[in-house]
Structure 1
């Protein structure tokens, strides 16, 4: 897309990049009428979001990554309509021969049997509980959750089994489950993180076009904290020369909302996210695109992205030191810190399945 081109309205990605990491061939012209469809009918007027239901055989994913805090996660959906242009999960759509660009935010997949699968997994005799992370790949409270309520069903299973859960989201839709979350919090079974990138709704509308506005996210943090739910404000990602100016004000507003924990994560651009983000810069910030990418490269060892364990989450350089110092000063001023929430794994009880009833 040329510099200064018109933005793709209502979407984060500006194009449908073709995945090539897996040797997937692009579709060749074969004389089918669809080859000439756009030439005959013109380009599509508006991108539509589609949702396909899928029924996987397993729902709990395990990982052995040494630099992240969880070892298991659940994703109720694939793809995410929030459309955050910087989303590190975008490349997962390439596994299915779909674009990490526009396909990731328009071609979504829902897993209606997720709660039943989780219940069956937790009921296995050899299962041992540790916190399940929700929202690690796609947002559990993206717009289609309003219809499917799969995340709520998963929380109901976890509450019944007394199984701990962590949630990361950019949506105030999380408040629809405040009744469950408050009950889980009373049992020390849940912690919720809401990601806030900036406090400017116009900028957020460009970065994450279908996520909740910053003010709504802050209000959700306040209501969660008021209900006694352990809350964390994640300033993520921090984009140099675009969103870093909001670090101090986000910390201050989070503290004013009653949040006791904050953290920040620098921008990551793995695989196809890098060209998508560069394209986004050319459309929305052509005047500072070179500066932004220059800083990104300076903290990532001269590359757009550093994929190595530990260093991928701990970039280095003068810019990182500056951001870290600013963040720590803001936290001291507002009596806030980053907290690792210790959730209760000892209260776990296996769910009832079939005709087997719980004895206690």
Structure 2
């Protein structure tokens, strides 16, 4: 069975823009027959444009007490993500703004231009206790708008100035533009970078992550970072049964060849509005196996579309999850990954200079 024709805007991941029902928000009403008539007269609608709204945040460091995540603080310079990854677990966060986790999430973005100043103030507060800062835990800090806004780079400059350890996760090779900051930090055991690669198949990646760099560009970024002496991870996240799971061994081999020292994987997660968005995506791009994919996902998730429980949400459960783990660990041993994982240095931190720092 072939793929069904799609009415989604070109270059976008979600096929629909349904409203959230978790916050009693009304569903968006259809606009009536005039849409069809207008399309016949004027042709298809114009391309969906990306908009950026300024967000004046009060704080920039988010705290996370989850016991199955290896960090307790993070920074997200942007809300929403233009990469458009259909599986992104951050999509439901757009519902807090009365926006859709579908197309709105990847086209109606928010930027925090005051982020670096807020970070400087928070690091200068009395009693601040240092621990590795995570960037890219919710939305990508190197999504396309970073090329213009450079908020992530400004944050790195503050972290470098204060010798604060950090760990970056991204799908973008744009991170290599900041090697001039990251390499000196890595030489002092203050920085790591994780590049997320879901598939090596450019066609699969284009539908899964329509505005993210190609897999080959991400592997080139791994090589550039490793050559610069920056400890580099590869994240195979998510692994999607019957679509990308067969690539695991080849992807680990390519990651090791590019210079990655560590890797990890996470089976696909479908929290809240992500589940119906993902189902719609499957029906558009993989109607021949949509039922099979969801059946395996439910077997991984205890009979549900999503398992929100700590620990199992990251690992999955059942025979499929165990098979993925065995394949992953065998491939990592074969290619020399995950042999050691030294902790970042938290002893070099110094509060920032300037009016805020001088007060204490």
Name the structure 1 match of 2:306: 305
Q: Deviations over 1:47-86 (max 9, x none)?
A: 1110111111111111111111110010000000000000
Q: Deviations over 1:72-124 (max 9, x none)?
A: 01000000000000000000001111000000000000000000000000000
* Displacement after TM superposition at 1:176 (Å): 0.6
Name the structure 2 match of 1:4: 4
What is the aligned-residue RMSD (CA, Å)?
1.9
Change in 2 beyond 3 A, CA 1:111/1:170: same
- Quote the Cα distance in structure 1 between the aligned partners of 2:213 and 2:354: 37
Q: Greater CA deviation, 265-274 or 340-349?
A: 340-349
Q: Deviations over 1:336-359 (max 9, x none)?
A: 127544111111100012286599
Please say if 1:121 is aligned against 2:130: no
Which segments of 5 or more consecutive residues in structure 1 lack a partner in the other structure? none
Which segments of 5 or more consecutive residues in structure 2 lack a partner in the other structure? none
Which structure 2 residues correspond to residues 103-252 of structure 1 after superposition, within 5 A? 103-252=104-253
Change in 2 beyond 3 A, CA 1:23/1:332: same
Kindly indicate whether the alpha-carbon contact (under 8 Å) linking 1:233 and 1:254 is maintained by their aligned counterparts in 2. Answer: yes
* Displacement after TM superposition at 1:5 (Å): 3.6
* Displacement after TM superposition at 1:28 (Å): 6.7
What is the TM-score when the length of structure 2 is the normalising length?
A: 0.94
Kindly indicate whether the alpha-carbon contact (under 8 Å) linking 2:121 and 2:356 is maintained by their aligned counterparts in 1. Answer: no
- Quote the Cα distance in structure 2 between the aligned partners of 1:241 and 1:131: 36
Which structure 2 residues correspond to residues 23-34 of structure 1 after superposition, within 5 A? 23-26=24-27
Which structure 2 residues correspond to residues 325-336 of structure 1 after superposition, within 5 A? 325-336=326-337
Change in 2 beyond 3 A, CA 1:7/1:354: same
- Quote the Cα distance in structure 2 between the aligned partners of 1:338 and 1:232: 12
What is the TM-score when the length of structure 1 is the normalising length?
A: 0.94
Which structure 2 residues correspond to residues 315-330 of structure 1 after superposition, within 5 A? 315-330=316-331
Q: Greater CA deviation, 166-175 or 259-268?
A: 259-268
SS at match of 2:295: helix
Change in 2 beyond 3 A, CA 1:37/1:144: farther
Change in 2 beyond 3 A, CA 1:295/1:177: same
Change in 2 beyond 3 A, CA 1:7/1:25: closer
* Displacement after TM superposition at 1:307 (Å): 0.7
Change in 2 beyond 3 A, CA 1:339/1:195: farther
Question: How many residues end up aligned between the 2 structures?
Answer: 353
Change in 2 beyond 3 A, CA 1:319/1:160: same
Q: Greater CA deviation, 218-227 or 43-52?
A: 43-52
- Quote the Cα distance in structure 2 between the aligned partners of 1:91 and 1:329: 35
- Quote the Cα distance in structure 1 between the aligned partners of 2:228 and 2:209: 27
